[in-house]
Structure 1
């Protein structure tokens, strides 16, 4: 058996493999002690370390060297040591720092949740509810950008972007050619395409799924419905480009959106192709499996999302 490291997170002890990050060790435990993450993405190599929402306090470095780390560290980038002791929600210092990080993320972010397609499944919205201040201390004018189309199916709202780089890593690692990225530096940084070149490849739609806010939106779904009025269902099809495993979002008997299946941390389990995402909007295109499991704390679940709501659709498909 390989060597295991013992780490304590918020007074809970777990044994993990060497090289495991504090964030992933916390995810193995689960529950409220898991730090939030806006830029880290398990399937995207090199992601993490940019948003700073996952900061934790290491009160003991290891059993061999019990000295605490002098500053808060990004849990998505810091690997565990044997005997390490970590504080997340049990540290007032971490909670206060997280409030400051959220305040910075909201400096330029518009208060347009009532009209944003990401509302109801937005991680920044959740963080703002938990750690946001009642009012901003920022006195300067917010950055504003015109909305642009980066292809015929994706619209970019740079006003909402928090520069997490997820969409850039996605294009780099699962598509043949990346034509967008982060231009300029400092407070002038923005996601854009080179000379307004369109993003056009078979997996470009996955940039929408990995975006933690409403900066990249599906033009085929824009303003069609609020997510908490829809019913998500797991389905699959035979596809020669991707796994074909998706979540269908129903309004009545109509499929109004198709996304990749996400885990409890909002990360896509299998990236899907644009054909499955944009072109297959009929129940007859899919084999229905079951209603998607929704976190009881989600506003989607608050809309009385239960299996019997989807039985007519499932029965109709089976018939």
Structure 2
């Protein structure tokens, strides 16, 4: 009989859960869900070695473990710190964490252009959500924001380096998902930027996935550029037979028009696994070239979080109430359009027949129908 694997008990914001050894604090919190889960701008569970760069997932460890219950002196990155048996963690219940997270968001917004009204990522931007929850009403930064030279990344991907927060997700994606990587971080410090080497184009079959992993509007889809707002579109799940990827995608439609195609994402904004249990990365052919509804088999509307702006006007599982007017009217169908003049006696006298300025007498005549 196989020996049962020992589980660690970890308490996060007064909620205790059993997790496997080697689980990070962030993933343990995700098993609880809700507000207990710290935000993450750089960590991506499908990408090896990601995390530890944005510092938005900082938490306070009030007790290290049962064997050593001393608290950790500094806040730690929950995506890079594994749980120990008996560990006690504070996230939303810690004033230190809230203050630190507010400071991190302020730093992230220092050089951000704040061009949400024209950004294609608006409505599904993680930085928008983060700044709404932890941002300040005004900036204390009085200096000139940094700018970068424009880089062309090819016919499908648009780079806006001024929006980038250097999360490195796109670099890891190109390294681990596509066959080769032609872009990365150039320069250092405040001059660091995402760019291609010697102005090369990103033309790998799976390079379009860098759009899905980008938490802000730094990498966007050129075929969807300025076409519509995501809250005006209807996301539906669909699939097709593809010899390069799983073909399981999410279509963003307006009427019968397919405006863009993306990979399916989970509640944490990460690419979902396919029905076969494999990572759901999609190829460029599915993403950029199959924009006809006849190319896909529609499975049904995507389940959208009701707190998301995308959920406005998007109802799933809602039943239309049974119409009873015909029964009330004895089986006759209601007249949806009718001329009020034909059934009302209020306007029998035209105002043009009233001479002189409008007086109380003229209104009395109109009321009497004279």
TM-score by length of structure 1 reads 0.95
RMSD (CA atoms)? 1.1
CA contact (8 A) 2:234 2:314 kept: no
Q: Determine which of 253, 275, 278 is the counterpart of 2:285.
A: 275
Aligned twin of 1:45: 48
Q: Counterpart of 1:118? A: 121
Q: 1:245, 1:304 → 2: CA distance?
A: 21
Shift, 1:151, TM fit: 1.1
Q: Is 2:116 aligned against 1:106?
A: no
**1:1-319, aligned counterparts within 5 Å?**
1-269=4-272, 270-306=280-316
1:104 alignment partner, SS class: helix
Q: Deviations over 1:264-285 (max 9, x none)?
A: 0000111000000001111111
Question: Conserved in 2, the CA contact under 8 Å of 1:175 and 1:204?
Answer: yes
Indicate the residue corresponding to 1:314 in structure 2.
Answer: none
Between the aligned partners of 2:160 and 2:316, the Cα distance in structure 1 is 33
User: How many aligned residue pairs are there?
Assistant: 309
2-side partners of 1:285 and 1:114: how far apart? 32
Kindly provide the CA deviation profile for residues 246-276 of structure 1, in whole angstroms up to 9, marking residues without a partner as x.
Answer: 0000011100000000000000111000000
SS in 2 for 1:47: coil
**Structure whose alpha-carbon radius of gyration is higher:** 2
Task: Point out where structure 1 has 5 or more consecutive residues left out of the alignment.
Answer: 310-319
* Aligned-partner Cα distance in 2 for 1:77–1:183: 25
Inter-partner Cα distance in structure 2 for 1:236 and 1:38: 29
Question: Which residue of structure 2 aligns with residue 317 of structure 1?
Answer: none
* Contact 1:231–1:305 (Cα < 8 Å) also in 2: no
C-alpha distance in 2, partners of 1:217/1:171? 15
Task: For residue 78 of structure 1, give the secondary structure of its aligned residue in structure 2.
Answer: coil
**2:303–2:316 Cα contact (<8 Å) kept:** no
Flag the structure with more relative contact order, 1 or 2, with Cα contacts below 8 A and sequence separation at least 6: 1
State the match for 1:312 in structure 2.
none
Stretches of structure 2 that go unaligned for 5 or more consecutive residues are: 273-279, 320-370
